[in-house]
Chains A and B, each alone.
Chain A
């Protein structure tokens, strides 16, 4: 697929006896919100890790805008426009929310071998950072030290930081993990807005959110894709229902 923004081709990874990614091939075109679902241990986070560059695949190729990024280091991928958020919140806890986002802006505003001027007084960094905070609904919380923010706010900040790197594509690893219903609803709203401008790969356990947002859904079980298609097709797929949806929906209704 020549026009895919992200092209995953036969990516495999095993950890000892466990096959975390089993020849995964997936093409995500520009503008799509693609959700990956699957039971715990299906290899979803391992897949994102390989896309973001933290884990090197044993086999296969990953192309971003036609460029082979399989061997590129993490920071280079970020510079190309591939941004990720973390499943377990990974922030600068001793910085303010605004400082967190401003750092992400700075990472994409040229090199940082600038030794003299006060970075906190640079409008170029602060304005863009404030804008990213506003987009995820944290406009008034910029001066709060991150360790004092709520869990839901941490998740929002995760997204703001990914956004601040002016990405072309977002890799979101369970952005709604641990959120209450209200926070989840707000996150769905945010993602719906983002989806108009960005290509998004979303890993999420919240099925309501996934089916509300996704253009296409891929189901991963034991590192293998068992189905991939539009939400209606996935909902109707017997194998998927048996492997995943059926077990999941009832206890959580």
Chain B
């Protein structure tokens, strides 16, 4: 455990403070686009944290994690289209469907390892992607507008941008706390042990498969929730929600921010999306700048941005 006032902890506190103050800043400067950008950042940070639970802590590199963004999003979109607008129905259903899908994918893919695992998770995600394209009633390839955000009665009005932002931020913080408890619990020790040396885990008496499978399901549920938020944020769903490049983005966020800690992917999400936003304002070919930056992090900062901060303690 690092000390309370280490640069890393100060940085984490700073990031959270900045996230909390975004709507205030937007209000003062009149820059409402900021809220929209950071809502997206916060939502994708939830997805990246959930991916990191299986990838960073469990060693399960899923290349189809964005599929849960799609499942969560389509659950909201399809129910809204059919006249069911209650968030109390939409959200739990989205999470349950995500869990069932993760259970199916995990049950099959966790019997394989390495590149095969990556390929199977990708294949399942692509399957759902093409199913979504075939859903003509729900917009098919073009996607579909959601005319009414999830309803939670009079108390919480998600169509208010500030309210919605704070709901997303609260869910991000809850997710971080949940995952943090999880990875330090007995369950989390099993998951991390299986990443480190699965053969030894079995030799000392752990049936690792069932623990990894449940972990895979947890990650799918959390990302399904992110999908629910994303659909509400954009008021729109389309197959692009779960395009495989989006799964790649989530991996980049986790690697960029740092896979070793629960908070790392949040830093990665902020860094990637802010860079993307800034660089694309400078040049149309912003990837040319982003690519080498990412390369430098992978080559020289194996723990990601978070790892660099942890290293500063000694400097």
* A interface residues with partner B (beta carbon < 8 Å): 52, 54, 73-75, 78-79, 83-84, 86, 90-95, 99, 102-104, 106-108, 112-120, 122, 161-162, 164-165
Contacts and interface: CB of A to CB of B under 8 A. Distances in A.
B193 A115 contact: no
B200 A112 contact: no
Contact of B200 (A73, A90, A120, A164): A90
B313 interface: no
A74 B205 CA distance: 7
A39 to B, nearest CB: 26
22 contacts: A52-B203, A54-B199, A54-B203, A78-B202, A78-B204, A78-B205, A83-B203, A102-B189, A103-B189, A104-B204, A106-B189, A106-B190, A107-B201, A108-B205, A114-B185, A114-B186, A115-B181, A118-B184, A119-B184, A119-B186, A119-B189, A165-B204
Contacts of B200: 86, 90-92, 161
Contact of A103 (B185, B193, B199, B207): B193
Nearest to A109: B186
Given A52-B203, A86-B203, A90-B203, A112 B187 contact: yes
Interface string B207-240: 1100100100000000000000000000000000
A164 B206 CA distance: 13
A116 B181 contact: yes
A92 B207 contact: no
Nearest to A80: B205
B103 to A, nearest CB: 15
Interface SS, A side = loop
- Chain B contact-residue range equals 20 to 34
Contacts of B208: 75
A75 B207 contact: yes
A98 to B, nearest CB: 12
A236 B150 CA distance: 85
Contacts of A108: 205
A193 B199 CA distance: 28
A133 B182 CA distance: 26
